[in-house]
Amino acid sequence: MKKIAMLAGLVAMGAVPAAAQTSPITFNARGMVAISDADMAASAFIDGKLLRDNAVKDKLTSIKFPLQRGGKTFESIIVSNSALTYSKSIAVPKTGGLAFVLDARVSPSEDVSEYKDAMKEFPEGQKLTVVDIVNLAAPKQKFAFAVGKNPTAIDINKNELMVATSEAGKELVFLEVNDDGKPTRLAHLPAQLDSARIIDLSFHPTGNYLAVTLDQTKEVGLYRIVRDGGKLKNIEMVGKPFKAGDNPATGKFSADGKHYFVLDTKGAVGKATGEGELMVVEFSLDGSAEHKVVSKTPVGLNPGAFAINPEGNMIVTANVGKSVQPWTEANAGGGSSLTLLKVGADGAMTKVADYPVEGIMPQSIAFDKDGSNLAVAIYEYLDFGDRTGGIEFWSVSKGDSPKLTKQPGKISVERGCHTIRVIP
């Protein structure tokens, strides 16, 4: 008893290092960035009713790990952004330092409270905002500039950015930026496609290819990035875009670039009636064969995002379920889940388990640097009064029988949290 009392006293006096104390949140990374769209409730995806508070603004929250209760380890600032994209509305280099935030749709005038279709009727944006996150506990907005009408996705490769827009002839915007985030080169690249809007894009790990998802045609395609002296010169289509599921959305390459994973959501956000699927795409990088979907694995209802662990042998999808239903509906706020999948060396996937999530519309997900923990962005909760979003954490058990275990702590952020990025 004396030893226990002595240890408690030492902890109270700070003589025991903080790392030796138990934390309700464990996440092995230097930091994280989250963005929140405060302009609409999650249920607006279904009924168009924004339920907004004009005094509450879009935010960017940057977080420094390890977290300390009572210490300043994260901060939120006003940065305009939009949840009306497909999970690629912010880009952060692996080294951190800067965050590049798209504003795909701007805030409507204060007297607007409802749309028939929020995805289509929100005012179009065109801005990319650069935020200084060198000090993760004190982010600072640096500057913003126009990139094109209704930008839908952004990805980063070292100091290169690629942005998809809805502007004819400028569907792809390439930027090379300096250490301050200022563009030193800019090129508008036509998509070489007939009336097909790019809603998602992903750099290949080599930086020499770009995979895209096309909206109207429900196709996936591949571009080769043509370089001269290491600098981008142009892009050219490799093979032909091909049909991929019923409603392909966001995609990611495996770390070795051999496989491309794409979510088939089966419908618009929150409106699908059947389970989504995660597809494995085999690209022919040299164009000698046709691109194709080589396998599909069922995940949850209305999947919105997924993450691949650093080892490449696990994937977790975040599934919206029916949680975005208006609160007057009997199933409002329920049905969100995570789906855990094992991934073989050949890219084949096996579903392990589903895990219920209490929050509404989990729309972004990320592993930490060693894959031992998982962060999930929650758009909002079934809470009246002070509505907030959140970032929740799960521990990952590895091995032949992997599993997820919910951690007790969470980070409360501005309502509408829809995208997170990790700085390992």
Question: Is residue 250 domain-resident?
Answer: yes
Question: Is residue 17 domain-resident?
Answer: no
Which CATH number goes with the domain that contains 255? 2.130.10.10
**Rounded Cα gap, residues 295 and 275, in angstroms:** 16
Residue 11 confidence (pLDDT): 41
Residue 195 confidence (pLDDT): 65
Number of domains present in the structure of the chain: 1
Residue 194 confidence (pLDDT): 75
Cβ neighbors of 232 (< 8 A, separation 6 or more) are 160, 174, 176, 185, 187, 225, 226
Residue 256 confidence (pLDDT): 95
Question: Is residue 18 domain-resident?
Answer: no
Question: Is residue 13 domain-resident?
Answer: no
- At residue 100's C-alpha, the angle toward residues 380 and 315, to 5°, is 60
3-state secondary structure of 46: helix
Question: Is residue 383 domain-resident?
Answer: yes
Question: Is residue 11 domain-resident?
Answer: no
Residue 86 confidence (pLDDT): 87
Query: 60, exposed or middle or buried, with CB in 10 Å at 0-12, 13-18, 19+?
Result: buried
Q: DSSP label at 18?
A: G
**Rounded Cα gap, residues 92 and 131, in angstroms:** 10
Residue 157 confidence (pLDDT): 97
Residue 21 confidence (pLDDT): 53
3-state secondary structure of 20: helix
- Judge contact between 279 and 291, C-beta under 8 A: no
- Judge contact between 263 and 316, C-beta under 8 A: no
**Rounded Cα gap, residues 157 and 95, in angstroms:** 11
Question: Is residue 91 domain-resident?
Answer: yes
Residue 72 confidence (pLDDT): 87
Q: What is the pTM of this model?
A: 0.93
Low-confidence stretches of the chain (pLDDT beneath 70): 1-21, 195
Query: Over the stretch 202-226, which tens digit does the pLDDT of each residue have?
Result: 999 999 999 999 999 999 999 999 9
Domain around 157: 28-423
Single out the residue of 97, 115, 99 nearest to residue 107, CA to CA.
115
Question: Is residue 21 domain-resident?
Answer: no
- Judge contact between 74 and 93, C-beta under 8 A: no
